[in-house]
Structures are given as C-alpha cells and as structure tokens.
Amino acid sequence: MDIKDLKITVIYGGISSEREVSLRSGKAVYEALRRGGFKNVGLFDLTRENIGELSSLSCDVAYLALHGKGGEDGCIQGMLELLGIPYTGSGVLASASCMDKIRTKELLDRVGLPTPRFVTLTEDECADREATAKRLSEKIGLPMVLKSPCEGSSIGVYIVKDALEVEKYIGEIFKYGDALLCEQFIDGVELTLPIVGNEELTVFPAIEITSENEFYDYESKYTEGMCHHIIPARISAEDAERISEIGKKAYRVLGCRGLSRIDMILDKVRGPMIIEINNLPGMTEMSLFPDSARYAGVPFEKLVEMIVAYAVENFDEKDRK
C-alpha cells in the first residue's frame, strides 16, 4: 500500500497548559498532510470529555500533535499501544523520560553527556523558603534557573538572580506539580538540534535562537517578531559536529523514535550543554523543527510524510519481534 493511502488521524488539543499551541500544531500538520497528497486525513481534538472515543478510533496511524501533560509523557502513547494503533514519535518509556526533565538529566548524567549542574527538591523540602533559597544559592550559585520538571513551552521556568527571587519563584513552581528542578544558569549561545529517524538518524541543521525577552520563553516562542531562528547557527564547524554527535547520543540514550529536538546551550568554556529533549516538538507556523528541515531542503509536506513513515517502520519492527 502506498503510504499516502493510509488513513491518518491527527490527534491534537489535549488537556495540558499547552493546548492552544497543540491546536496550532495539529492544524498545521493536517494541512501539510493534505497538501502532500494524503487522501484520508482527519482531526481529533482530544478533551477530557471525549478521551473514551479513542477506543473506537479507526485509522492506520495516529499522528500525535499533542504537547505537554497527557500528550508527551507516555499517557496517550500507552493508550494507543493497548488499542494497537501505530502512532508517531517515541514510545511510552522514552516519552515519559523526555517529559520529566529530572529523569532526562539523570539519564544524561549517568552516561556522561553534558548537562548543567542541578538539584531537585520536593515541596516538603522547600517548606522553609528562606533556608531553601540559601541552600540552592550555595549549591548551584546565582543566577540560577528554577523549573517545573514536567511542563513544556518554557511554562514554569524562571531565571533568578538573587535569593529573594528564589524565595518568590519556589512557590510558583509548585503550582505546576510537586517537584522543583534547580539548574545552573548557562550563559551562551542557545541552540536546538532537530533529529528524525529510528535506527538510522537524520540530523537537520542546528538552529541558533535569539529572543527579544530575557530568554526563549512562552511569549517569545509563540508571538511573531519576539524570537529569531538563525539557520545555520553562527558556530564553528567543529562545534556543529560536536553538537550533532552529542544530540544523536542523547536521542539514543533516551530511546527516542521518529523525531525529537535536543535543546542545548553552547558554553564558551565547557562547550555544548544539553538543557532538555522535546519528543513531540512544536509544528506551528513559527516552530523550529520545520524551519530547520526547510533549510535542509525538506519542505513541511515531506517532513510530516517522513514522520508518518517512521511510525509505520517502528510498528512493523515491533510486529517482527
């Protein structure tokens, strides 16, 4: 069967704080699939009310355009596995590991891949905010980055410069969950590396990101004119090669399939430092992944076709096992 004869359902929307971004990603993917010649493409706007309808979903491949909790963290992947529906992107374990920034950093650290120094704390351990701020300042140093470990699109991320700010934003972090990730601030070139593939990987050009705000936050990502994607990144050939190798190793260590985007900062002294791994990167009109693919000569229509093909290949491999 020609891949373009497959029945594709784009699952988008979802129940996370990134729902609006997912709606934009899903519509963009749907339109790209239709333009690319896929004959049978539908949209499924996932909500709490209709989640049970997934059990009667009739399609050959589910294209996941979800972001955030419930979409990137292995939940929807597990449901589709039980239903026997092939889907795009990484599996349950890799999705859960990538979504949890703490787990990601622990895995990277274990195999010696470079990532900023970090400390993790529970809400109970942060009961005394003043003492916590002092302890974090001593262990990590200022400025530092405070993060909610299971949010995306830079939601729940704060760069703090003094102890009073640390105290203030600790409380904000716990609005998103019961864990806090404190990370060393890296002052360098912000980069992201898009990768597609299963066993054989294709690395698209690294993108340098500049922002009109202090860092590449939610507003910068999704407001026109607030960020700039520089392709290729203004880095040396040696650094570009090193970033590519580090990115591929991280992709494999986390068990990514189909596609992922590796976010890094290039430190002047220590070189590339991995910040996080996005296993379902944005596919909106302003997103990084399609920008890099286009620069490499892969139009959006071809990119989504490749991602569907990787999903089919991945599930064919599972059947053979």
Query: Which residues are annotated as catalytic?
Result: 18, 153, 222, 261, 263, 276, 278, 282
242-256 burial, b for 16+ CB within 10 Å, e for fewer? bbbebbbbbbebbbb
Phi, psi of 114 (to 5 degrees): -75, 130
